[in-house]
Amino acid sequence: MNINIEKKDKSNLEISFEIPWEEFEPYLDKAISVLSQDKEIRGFRKGNIPRAVLEQEIGKDKIIQSAAELAVKDKYPQALAEHKIEPIANPEIQIIKLAKNNPFKFKAKVSILSEIKLPDYKEIAATVKKKEVTVSDKELEETLEWLRKSKASFSPLERAAQPGDFISIEYSSPKFTAGKPYKDKFVLGEGHFVPGFEKELEGMQVGEEKEFAIDFPKDYVNKNLAGQKVDFKVRLESLQQMALPELNDAFAQTFPNMNSLLDLKNQLRSELKKNKESKEQQRLRDAILEKIVQASECEPPTSLVESEKEYLLADLKEKVKNNFKLSFEEYLKQAKKTAAELKDSFLDQARKRVKAFLVLREIGKQEGIQVSEEEISQEVQRIMDNYPDKEHQGKIDIERLRDYNRSAIYNRKILEKLESFSQ
């Protein structure tokens, strides 16, 4: 077999293969064996069909094409191993010549990683410091208030709605919900709707319907609605008075292992601090990685960038469905864009994310980061333990879960190493 490797650019190779007919012939025999396993011909057992009979039944072209596929599947990995090529995506295969008694020729277009030049990442990491984490009395009080609301009791009201009432509504909007009705429950004045929305609900009676328009903020998260006047139709379905329990030892004792209000406060302060420390740790790691990525020389391969754009588009579809109460088609109409245009708008973001991934991967190589099969198994088992129901466990793709956790543990270890340089 003759191989020629041509570098097209920093992240693409073209490998040309030429396999002499004598070397290709064994793949014909293998193709016949494989094809005969799936073919039923009267008078012959599966897997024992003579070549001449099989050629007559399915055609010589199909046999030689199958042989070519087997040869590519065999010879392509051999070439990668021999020349130490690490592809980052499936190759694009092109058959150049496939004819009896002639060399079999094909090309493989391969995406590879371009050279990644890292800065002194240890020195960069050392310049980013963790911030001190504290829990204020105000944060503790707000959490206690949230807990009180979680234990509130309710009684129906026979009057007009006022701020502080617990209400249930059904609402719809041609722009905001594509005309579909949605239900929600919240404390009037604390529902965190668009400014002005809840004010319109004050004074409504149970069963009453009301139509009004709200001017959405210019910085609203959904850019298609930002700065627009949006019509709403609302029906007040229920109105209740919310009574909060007194904040004392008896209240604290309604929670597991709490003997007093002081115990509850101490526990909450500890949990709040842990949560803030976790967020600060993530901020620190993100800041370190961002600085290293900015100082690195790396050209993200087009194939990986395209895959990341696809992922970002899929993520947007989920957010539109769950947060904006719109179908994606309706969202596209409001945005006055096609799905392809939206996907292309993610180019810069996708390039940054891919570059960060590649830089992190290169640091992992230089630091000799390893993930053992035992670590993966332990994490997979921990996840499976959260699904004691055998029916749910049976729906989980274990191999895919292992692959995901292998990558997640690997990245976490690299970030932990970078974090250690900042201390």
Q: What separation in angstroms does the CA of 149 have from each of 42, 251, 269, 289?
A: 77, 12, 18, 40
What's the pLDDT tens digit per position in 327-386? 888 888 888 899 999 999 999 999 999 999 999 999 999 999 999 999 999 999 888 888
**pLDDT tops 60 at residue 46:** no
Percent of the chain residues topping a pLDDT of 70: 93
DSSP element (H, E) containing 18: strand 12-19
205 torsion bin: left (phi>0), alpha (psi -120 to 50), beta (else): beta
What mean pLDDT is predicted for residues 206-218? 96
Q: What is the DSSP string of 47-88?
A: T---HHHHHHHH-HHHHHHHHHHHHHHHHHHHHHHHTT--BS
* 278 and 415 belong to one structural domain: yes
Give the confidence band of 45 by pLDDT, cuts at 50, 70, 90: low
Task: Mark which of 52, 78, 111 sits at the end of a domain.
Answer: 111
The single residue listed with the structure tokens 């072209």 is: 61
Q: What separation in angstroms does the CA of 324 have from each of 28, 174, 304, 332, 343?
A: 57, 12, 29, 12, 19
* 239 and 277 belong to one structural domain: no
Q: Are 234 and 209 in contact (CB under 8 A)?
A: yes
Residue 98 in tokens:
């496939």
* 223 and 291 belong to one structural domain: no
What mean pLDDT is predicted for residues 138-159? 95
Q: Are 410 and 357 in contact (CB under 8 A)?
A: no
CB count in 10 Å sphere of residue 165 = 21
* 278 and 236 belong to one structural domain: no
**pLDDT tops 60 at residue 420:** yes
What mean pLDDT is predicted for residues 285-308? 92
Closest Cα partner for 419 from 371, 379, 363, 368? Answer: 363
CATH no. for residue 337? 1.10.3120
Residue 57: what pLDDT? 65
Q: What is the DSSP string of 372-391?
A: -HHHHHHHHHHHHHT--SHH
Closest Cα partner for 111 from 127, 92, 130? Answer: 92
Residue 51: what pLDDT? 62
pTM higher than the cut 0.85? no
* Spatial distance between the Cα atoms of 293 and 356, rounded to a whole number of angstroms: 6
What mean pLDDT is predicted for residues 382-396? 74
Judge whether 285 lies within some domain: yes
The single residue listed with the structure tokens 């596209």 is: 332
Q: Are 411 and 360 in contact (CB under 8 A)?
A: yes
Backbone angles phi, psi at 71, to 5 degrees: -65, -45
* 103 and 175 belong to one structural domain: no
What's the pLDDT tens digit per position in 326-343? 788 888 888 889 999 999
* 284 and 361 belong to one structural domain: yes
Residue 48: what pLDDT? 59
* 177 and 52 belong to one structural domain: no
Judge whether 260 lies within some domain: no
Q: Are 242 and 149 in contact (CB under 8 A)?
A: yes
Give the confidence band of 55 by pLDDT, cuts at 50, 70, 90: low
Domain with 296 in it:
273-421
Task: Mark which of 92, 111, 130 sits at the end of a domain.
Answer: 111
What mean pLDDT is predicted for residues 46-67? 71
**pLDDT tops 70 at residue 400:** yes
**pLDDT tops 70 at residue 173:** yes
Radius of gyration of the chain (CA): 32
CATH no. for residue 239? 3.10.50.40
* 187 and 318 belong to one structural domain: no
By the 10 Å C-beta count (0-12 exposed, 13-18 middle, 19+ buried), 42 is classed as exposed
What's the pLDDT tens digit per position in 99-133? 989 999 999 999 888 889 999 999 999 999 999 99
Q: Is residue 163 classed as helix, strand or coil in its secondary structure? A: coil
Residue 86: what pLDDT? 85
* 278 and 409 belong to one structural domain: yes
Judge whether 200 lies within some domain: yes
* 169 and 277 belong to one structural domain: no
Beta-bridged to residue 16, according to DSSP, are 4, 107
Residue 396 DSSP code = S
Judge whether 126 lies within some domain: no
* 292 and 405 belong to one structural domain: yes
Number of domains the chain contains: 3
Residue 310: what pLDDT? 95
Residue 190's contacts (CB-CB under 8 Å, 6 or more residues apart) are none
* 237 and 175 belong to one structural domain: yes
What mean pLDDT is predicted for residues 12-35? 90
CB count in 10 Å sphere of residue 303 = 19
Backbone angles phi, psi at 164, to 5 degrees: 100, -15
